[in-house]
Structure 1
Amino acid sequence: MLAGVEQQKDRFGVPLVLLAGALWGTVGPAQLLAGPVAGPAALGGARILVGGLVLAAVVLATAPRSFRLLTGCTWPAVLAAAAATATFQTAFMTSVVTTGAAVATALTFGVAPVATGICERIALGTRLTRHWVAGTGCAVVGCVLVVTPSDGVRVDLVGAALGVLAGACFGVYTVSAKRLIHRGVPMPAAVAVTLLVGGSVLAPWTLAAVPGLATPRGLALVVWLGPVTAAAAYWFFVTGLRRVSAATAGTLSLVEPLVAAGLAVLLLGERLSAPVTAGAVLLLGGLVVVARPVPASRRRGAEARIRT
């Protein structure tokens, strides 16, 4: 009976994480479609600051007391998530500008499940299995192919490195959020705080870019990125993360490069060469192996360590 309940929770969580991933997959194409309205740091700061304000307003209107439950013992995880969020914005959006939306998103969210596994190993002591090592090796080969220069495909090595950094930040955020969930923290309030803190770090760049952000294109972009791809998407993600494991969430996040690549080809005219396409497929395939759901008994053991 208990197993059946857990499976129902998993099925309910899967579409929420997929929906969050699909919304995140629109960030890069939307950024390029709007044009250079602001620098990556300024745009990333505006995205999470506006998203944090929207989410905080919703929490204040529906459950204002939940902010009081962010006690001292939860702040290390909250601050780690906020730092990861702020770094992710600048790294990912810079990677989009230099490498293109499709390749940047494939690198970032291809690396994310591996980064999540490493973070789980460091933070929770989870043993890295043979299939994790095999999948990681497959993903590394895929990354090499993705960043290999070829005719008609623009891949900047610095931008690619920033994409990998953004993927690592996604892993830090996922594990931090999972720890907060198991401590019983109200996640909408926690997400609002992480977005606001991360946005405050990037506020100097955002304020300097207000003239560009105030243009019709800039406002339209911020309205999409803030309330939709930040406030709503993060809310969907942490709600789904409550019902699935971190590894499963990492696997489901791979919908993002698929959405981004499709939009980049359809709307932006980007082309994926044969080596880049093969590398992306190999990378994603390897990471599906890495993020294979763990047995229920092992997952319960990991969750017990999170609570301690």
Structure 2
Amino acid sequence: MLLVLGAGLLWGSVGPAQVLAGPGAPPVALGGARVLLGGLVLAGIVLATTPRAYQGWPRASWPPLLAATAATTVFQAAFLTSVARTGAALATAVTFGIVPVATGVCERLVLGTRLSRRWIGGTACAVLGCALVTAPAGADRVDLVGVAFAVLSGGCFGVYTVSAKLLTLGRVSMPAAVSVTLLVGGVLLAPWTLAGLPALTTARSLALVAWLGPITAALAYWFFVTGLRRVTAATAGTLSLAEPLVATALAVLVLHERMSARVTAGLLVLLGGLVVVSLPGRRGRTRREQTPGPAEPAAQVPRSVGRDHWTS
């Protein structure tokens, strides 16, 4: 539980750290540098501790791995762009308010999971919260383009989550899989990273990348996938609430970001919806759990993946 909580705390610092570093490298270039450096560090850890982790992956693992890679790449660009346009607190809250919606829809389409009333209630809270946050009110206007990027990043997080779920059902080293998604994402974003290289070489940008890559990417993902072996996804989902809460607290206390009463209410409704969705409860069984095929018997599903493993 402490490892999963630690991952959420580290991820919650991404937006505030970007704002604290001030104007510098473009967000997409920054995202590319973050995942590339994080992937290199995590790959080094995997090779040092489990040299054969990249060997013997089944062919069925490649589609979800590619989907997770694409989601990681787009998420970096969209989320950091949203932070640059709307601020750390708002970008993080909208992104993770959308995550339950995106993950629930992806679960339904890919795994056939029945959508529970809890999910519907959490989704309603997320939509209402987004409406409160984005509704114009006099001079207190929200950057709608930045909010749109936050919604996009939340959708990517949902795709990544379901893709990772599929990977956990196979014979794949999750730290190794995460390092692959980060490295390939960094390569795909390399044109923007190279274009922003002059801005990335400033002292503040280098310090920011040094924090975002090894700490909030490599270390945080390693914490998360390691802790997930011992806790259910329901517990992990609840602990991940630390991320938007930490981002909001840092934005208000350290960055002195101002939020109106309406925007604050919207953020609270968004977080409330996330709490509702994340609380433990019985979930509908997926098609895979109902009718295991001959090549994928129920007895071979890893013991760490329970039926409530996927609750977002």
Is TM more than 0.5 here?
A: yes
The residue aligned with 1:8 is none
d(CA) in 2 for partners of 1:205 and 1:303?
Answer: 45
d(CA) in 1 for partners of 2:245 and 2:253?
Answer: 12
d(CA) in 2 for partners of 1:222 and 1:296?
Answer: 40
Distance 1:223 1:22, change over 3 A: same
d(CA) in 2 for partners of 1:304 and 1:23?
Answer: 39
Q: Residues 219-258 of structure 1: matches in 2 within 5 Å?
A: 219-258=206-245
Offset, 1:135: 2.1
The residue aligned with 2:41 is 54
Residue 18, structure 1, aligned to residue 5, structure 2: yes
d(CA) in 2 for partners of 1:300 and 1:242?
Answer: 23
The residue aligned with 1:181 is 168
Unaligned residue ranges in structure 2 (runs of 5+) = 298-312
d(CA) in 1 for partners of 2:232 and 2:120?
Answer: 19
The residue aligned with 1:3 is none
Residue 147, structure 1, aligned to residue 134, structure 2: yes
What letter matches 2:7 in structure 1? A
Deviates further, 279-288 or 247-256: 247-256
Cα RMSD of the aligned pairs, angstroms, is 2.3
Find 1:75's aligned residue among 62, 78, 90.
62
Secondary structure of residue in 2 paired with 1:65: coil
What letter matches 1:79 in structure 2? L
Distance 1:170 1:303, change over 3 A: farther
Q: Residues 192-231 of structure 1: matches in 2 within 5 Å?
A: 192-231=179-218
Distance 1:279 1:296, change over 3 A: closer
The residue aligned with 1:100 is 87
d(CA) in 2 for partners of 1:299 and 1:248?
Answer: 20
Distance 1:302 1:232, change over 3 A: farther
Richer in helix (by share)? 1
Q: Residues 113-192 of structure 1: matches in 2 within 5 Å?
A: 113-150=100-137, 153=140, 155-192=142-179
The residue aligned with 1:286 is 273
d(CA) in 2 for partners of 1:135 and 1:174?
Answer: 17
Offset, 1:290: 2.2
What letter matches 1:80 in structure 2? A
Secondary structure of residue in 2 paired with 1:69: coil
TM-score scaled by length of structure 1: 0.89
d(CA) in 2 for partners of 1:175 and 1:250?
Answer: 13
What letter matches 2:272 in structure 1? G
Offset, 1:97: 0.8
What letter matches 2:31 in structure 1? G
Offset, 1:273: 1.0
What letter matches 1:198 in structure 2? G
Residue 259, structure 1, aligned to residue 246, structure 2: yes
Distance 1:247 1:159, change over 3 A: farther
Offset, 1:108: 0.5
d(CA) in 2 for partners of 1:247 and 1:171?
Answer: 15
Task: Please give the per-residue CA displacement for 1:246-268, whole angstroms capped at 9, x wherever unaligned.
Answer: 45434432221111111111121
d(CA) in 1 for partners of 2:23 and 2:290?
Answer: 44
The residue aligned with 1:35 is 22
d(CA) in 2 for partners of 1:204 and 1:143?
Answer: 33
Distance 1:169 1:303, change over 3 A: farther
d(CA) in 2 for partners of 1:24 and 1:73?
Answer: 30
Unaligned residue ranges in structure 1 (runs of 5+) = 1-13
Deviates further, 250-259 or 295-304: 295-304
Offset, 1:72: 2.2
Task: Please give the per-residue CA displacement for 1:260-303, whole angstroms capped at 9, x wherever unaligned.
Answer: 11111112110121111111111111222223323389589759
The residue aligned with 2:306 is none
What letter matches 2:51 in structure 1? P
The residue aligned with 2:256 is 269
Offset, 1:305: 6.2
Distance 1:63 1:294, change over 3 A: same
CA contact (8 A) 2:89 2:251 kept: yes
Deviates further, 198-207 or 152-161: 152-161
Offset, 1:149: 3.3
